[in-house]
């Protein structure tokens, strides 16, 4: 199979993603879901995503649209557009599906995917994670994976600005 096609097949609209997830669930796969902007993919993201993937069989990532990133991060973001961010994430061998969401939170997407495990990174507590209550009420798990110190999109942007 053409590698680009293999990557493109991981990028789904919400309705197609639900169909894929239902198929994986029918096969007994444990579905892991996480979300984020993933504006400039860096070591911290890769560490976090690989650890999230290791918690189950299938890793699904909800990706903020450009409009959603602007609302959350400000007018100068995102640096990379949504199609580039989807392609980069889908290129990772441990990622099974990526899907855009335009809302400020992934609540609707989480409820559509119905993951077995919901994962967030950083200093979140379970009571602050969008979708945690939904996943826990369905018998699932919620995991928090610590950030890797020294890596952030904001710090990368600041370093580039200092060089420019």
106: tokens are: 């992934």
- Bridge partners, 145 (sequence order): 121
The alpha-carbon radius of gyration of the chain (Å, integer) is 15
* Residue reference for tokens 């979708």: 131
CATH topology of domain 3-163: Rossmann fold (3.40.50)
SS3 32: strand
- Could you tell me what percent of the chain has a pLDDT over 70? 99
Spatial CB neighbours of 128, under 8 Å, sequence gap ≥ 6: none
pLDDT at 1: 58
Question: pLDDT digits over 97-109, tens only?
Answer: 999 999 999 999 9
pLDDT at 124: 86
Q: pLDDT tier at 152 (50, 70, 90 boundaries)? A: confident
Q: Which of 89, 136, 85 is nearest to 114 (CA)?
A: 136
pLDDT at 161: 81
The answer to whether residue 33 scores a pLDDT higher than 70 is: yes
pLDDT at 31: 98
pLDDT at 158: 81
Question: pLDDT digits over 123-146, tens only?
Answer: 789 999 999 999 999 999 999 999
pLDDT at 123: 78
pTM over 0.75: yes
* Separation between Cα atoms, residue 87 and residue 131, nearest integer Å: 25
Question: pLDDT digits over 62-86, tens only?
Answer: 999 999 999 999 999 999 999 999 9
């Amino acid at each position: 199979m053409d590698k680009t096609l293999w990557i493109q097949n991981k990028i789904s609209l919400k309705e197609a993603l639900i169909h894929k997830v239902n198929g994986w669930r029918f096969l007994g796969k444990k579905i892991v879901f996480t979300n984020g902007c993933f504006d400039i993919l860096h070591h911290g993201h890769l560490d976090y995503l690989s650890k999230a993937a290791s918690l189950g069989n299938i890793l699904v990532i909800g990706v903020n649209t450009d409009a959603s990133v602007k609302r959350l991060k400000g007018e100068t973001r995102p640096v990379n557009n949504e199609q580039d961010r989807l392609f980069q994430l889908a290129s990772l061998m441990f990622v099974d599906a990526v899907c855009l969401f335009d809302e400020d939170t992934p609540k609707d997407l989480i409820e559509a995917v119905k993951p077995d495990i919901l994962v967030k990174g950083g200093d979140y507590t379970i009571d602050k994670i969008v979708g945690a209550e939904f996943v826990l009420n369905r018998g699932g798990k919620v995991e928090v994976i610590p950030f890797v110190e020294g890596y952030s999109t904001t710090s990368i942007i600041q370093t580039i600005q200092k060089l420019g």
